[in-house]
Structure 1
Amino acid sequence: MSNPRKHFVLVAFPAFGHIIPTLELAKKIVHFHDVTFVVSAVKLSVIRERNLMPPLSEYPITFLPLEDGLTPENDKNVSAGQLSVIANASNEALRKLYATVAADFVIADFPIAASLDACHARNIATGVFHTASAAALCNKLAVTETTVTIPDEQFLHPRNGNADIGAHGIPESMKQNNLSIQAAMKNTQAIILNSIRELEPQAINFLAGHRVTKDKDVLFVGPLFPVDTDSDDTVVQWLDKQAYRNVVYVSFGSLLIDFPAKQLTEIWMTLISLNRPFLWVLKEREETCLKALNLPETDTDHLIVRWAPQKLVLTHPATAIFVSHCGWNSTMESVWGGVPVVAWPMAADQHQNSQFLVDSGVALKIPNTSMLFERVISTQQIGQRVLELTGWSNGPYGSEFTRCCGIMKEQARAAVAAGGSSDNEFKKLVGSSP
């Protein structure tokens, strides 16, 4: 006998690295319960433009625009202060929404979870969804009143592999937001993670003993990806023409800052020196800059695009290596595809994610990188890592790194298969477990 349908409300922070996994969670839940998906009004139109809106017949989700006053201008500044402005605007609008919403369970994205106090005042059950790794959540929960603070501009400086907040400090605005979130989390029923339990044992131990999370359901339900669809996309057609494990894929996600001309030059020279087909995702401004540099041309087959269906790229048999900023979605997609990574982190949890991949034996990291581009990463530094990871320096494709990739790939797929850890924990979330 199935459980009665309840009304779940899911709320996403207005950035696509958060919106996409939260929407994927909503798409899974709607098969068991009624779902309302809340996101900033300024992002809802972009969701439609990017064809991310799921078909209503298959996913009967109600989309609710959050009137938070945000505009596209809010995306043009990536400082800690600006992130706090966005979080504060979201929290204020959400508290008004929660005061009247009819819901059985509200799941809020971590950066805007402080607003859940308005749900608790009405005895509405809640959960917090963390779209990044469990290790990154541990870092945020390690923030206390005594945590050292630093100026906003220092937050973008290069940081060590552990991105240890205690050692490096955190801007005051982010510290206060973290403390407000922790206060709200004390009254939540569940912590939901877009990760895989088997891959983060140290984080599990931390969460089991932390004052905020030790008495709660901590549910690993990842990785959460869009469902693969048949595609006649130019990128997939191009990949279909390439040899097995022969393509170098370069993408730095939706970074708001352009790569400087000197760095674009070094990446281009690396790619043509490898003499392998390459797929490079570039913003329009970056490609215009690249063309203006009058760099040496190449006969190597290549494709430069504005956007690529990344999961399809990383699971395609032609893709050999991924040069990535190591956002968590990209990190999980590389694990799912079994592709080694040249890790080039820029900010926030990307440094921690890159170290996770290095420690797992599936990546080599470029040290001391940041969004400030304080130094130029040379052709030699990039190329050496590509050759070592793929085994191309010694002959055909294959290395200890690619072997470890295969192991992690199987772990990820086992987790979401029927009876796997992520599958079982998702069933517990929706109340459908035996």
Structure 2
Amino acid sequence: MEKTKELVFIPGPGLGHLISAVETGRKILGRHQYLSITYLLIDMVPNDKALYNYTQSLSSATTPRLRFTNLSRTQPDCTQELNLKNPSAFVTEFICSQKPLVREAVLEIIKFESSQVVGFMVDLFCVSMIDVADEFKIPSYVFFTSSAGFLSVMLRVQTITDEFKQDITEYKDTDKELLIPGFQNQVPAKILPSGMLDKRRTFFLDMYIARRIRGSKGIIVNTFMELETNPIKALLSDGKNPPVYPIGPLINLKHHSDEDESIRRWLDNQPVSSVVFLCFGSWGRFGEEQVKEIAAALERSGYRFLWSLRRPPTDGTVGSPNDYENPEEVLPPGFLERTRGIGKVIGWAPQVAVLSHPAVGGFVSHCGWNSILESIWFGVPIAGWPLYAEQHINTYEMVVELGLAVDINMDSKIMVTSEEIERGIRHLMNGNEIRKKVKEMKEKSHKTLIEGGSSYDFLGRLIDDIVHILHN
């Protein structure tokens, strides 16, 4: 009997990374009937209810060749390290500490004579797991959850660092600009992720990831050719890179109506494209002074708004925010009363459900890559307010390179005034040219996934390459 062909997929910790990884798996299984996928889930947060509920919703009846294995934590006290203060420790210490568990899980798969592991797919934050794949002599592919533009930035900075022997941290607080393959304009060094420019760093996280990426069998990117034409072409033509497979947009379009019924009812009563939606991701939050500036801008603009307002952690860390029990404690006095009827302040937001609603006409966003892809899919223009990581590069690409967004705070001002925010919101809601371009890109994002589309074709190449390796 022919052995079952198994892919091992190691997503980055957290629901956001898992969702796009599962969407990738679904597409692969939909195109090849003899492959199965096992997801090895790294347990960053004990008893993560969102993660549990999501995996439980993927019943074996609907996804019979897609399985999940939860890895028990080997360092239970490591949670305190897992925040944005120390991302290097997150990758090098916590993820690496899970290698024995990954090794055991793979052994469990291959000990059955009917199973053959034919490939590892590892999230960019889990590239250390390539070592485990190498031990088993199994090809490894990196699943890059950000943009092709940022991938090009990472690889270029790695070249500058390793081949040209330049210290990239010297560019901090300068007007230095970088030539990045695939970018038509020079990229200001000041918008690089802060970790790249930190002179105090003991470990260069982005360079570690870039070096490991170059040693992989291929790079799967959650993007599509029609959106990032120039960066993708640059990556494909660079002989130093592994093959690149842009197979996006990978978006989970399902949402639970019981979680957003009150929001949906409110949106149902608003005119088409009249609402500006403010949401800053699972880590996004502001101090009280900045919250008041946002509120003042919304009130003066007169636009209808739906605002996901989150509370910073009370212990002073940079962990995930929570909802306010009473948002009036940080909003200007009387704000909720004065904006009653045209505005709604909420906590956690069901982002896909909101962006898909016809009443939403603009999105003030941190420009995380998943959020950008979702906004494009639904044809909602963005005003970029990046907060951390690669979000400034994403904003630059959307605003300067592609003309698909407007800018609110790409330069990372400590405090953005209400006047600046109001100006950005007005530009967002009145920008007919940008709105037209986003609508056009929406159509392309849908067509690229169907037969004859570029992402459909790249997915076919990826599967063919896995099968080719399998037969050689």
Task: Please report the TM-score for the alignment, with normalisation by the length of structure 1.
Answer: 0.84
Pick aligned residue for 2:380 from 334, 339, 342? 339
Indicate the residue corresponding to 2:20 in structure 1.
Answer: 21
Q: How many pairs are equivalent?
A: 414
Q: Is the 8 A contact 2:148 2:221 kept in 1?
A: yes
Q: Does the 8 Å CA contact 2:191/2:410 hold for their aligned counterparts?
A: no
Equivalent position amino acid for 1:227 in 2: L
Cα-to-partner distance string for 1:55-99 (whole Å, 9 max, x where unaligned): 3311233212233425684476312x3443344321232365247
Assess, with a 3 A threshold, how the Cα gap between structure 1 residues 277 and 417 changes in structure 2: closer, same or farther: same
The farther-off stretch of 356-365 and 242-251 is 356-365
List alignment gaps of at least 5 residues for structure 2: 111-116, 174-186, 312-321, 468-472
Q: Deviations over 1:386-425 (max 9, x none)?
A: 212222xxxxxx6111111111111211111222111121
For the pair 1:279 / 2:294, whether they are aligned, the reply is: no
Q: Does structure 2 retain, via aligned residues, the 8 Å contact 1:251–1:325?
A: yes
Question: In the alignment, is residue 131 of structure 1 matched against residue 171 of structure 2?
Answer: no
Q: 1:356 aligns with which of 397, 404, 422?
A: 397
Question: Could you tell me which of 117, 142, 152 is aligned with 2:131?
Answer: 117
Aligned 8 A contact 1:250 1:324 in 2: yes
CA distance in 2, matches of 1:278, 1:309: 15
In the other structure, the counterpart of 2:230 is 202
**C-alpha separation in 1, matches of 2:201 and 2:21:** 24
Alpha-carbon distance between aligned partners in 1 of 2:78 and 2:306, rounded to the nearest angstrom: 29
- Structure 2 vs 1, CA of residues 191 and 76 (structure 1 numbering), >3 Å: closer, same or farther? closer
Moved more, 224-233 or 130-139: 224-233
Aligned amino acid, residue 193 of structure 1: V
CA distance in 2: counterparts of 1:172 and 1:24, whole angstroms:
38
Indicate which of 67, 88, 98 corresponds to 2:93: 88
Structure 1 residue 332 displacement after superposition: 0.9
TM-score under structure 2 length normalisation: 0.78
1:312 corresponds to 2:353: yes
Contact 2:392 2:410 in 1 (8 A): no
Aligned 1:169-180 pairs, distance under 5 A: 169=197, 176-180=204-208
- 1:27 Cα deviation after fit: 3.2
- 2:263 counterpart of 1:224: no
For 2:20, the aligned partner's letter is: P
Q: Where does residue 449 of structure 2 map in the other structure?
A: 416
Q: Partner letter of residue 53 of structure 2?
A: N
- In structure 2, the partner of 1:295 is 333
The 2-side partners of 1:75 and 1:225 are apart by 29
2:423: which partner in 1? 384
Return the alpha-carbon distance in structure 1 between the equivalents of residues 217 and 373 of structure 2: 26
Does residue 1:148 correspond to 2:167, yes or no? yes
Q: How far apart, in 2, do the equivalents of 1:363 and 1:141 lie? A: 25
What is the CA distance between 1:160 and its match in structure 2?
Answer: 4.5
Q: For 2:98, what is the secondary structure of its paired residue?
A: helix
Letter in 2 for 1:58: T
1:343 positional shift = 0.7
For residues 426 and 201 of structure 2, the distance between their equivalents in structure 1, rounded to whole angstroms, comes to 42
CA pair 180-263 structure 1, distance change in 2 beyond 3 A:
closer
Q: Matched residues in 2 for 1:212 and 1:161: separation?
A: 23
Measured against aligned partners, the alpha-carbon deviations of 1:305-361 in whole angstroms (never above 9, x if no partner) come to 222221222122110110110000111111111111111011121001111211322
CA distance in structure 2 between the aligned counterparts of 1:325 and 1:419, rounded to whole angstroms = 33
8 Å CA contact 1:282–1:305 kept in 2: the answer is yes
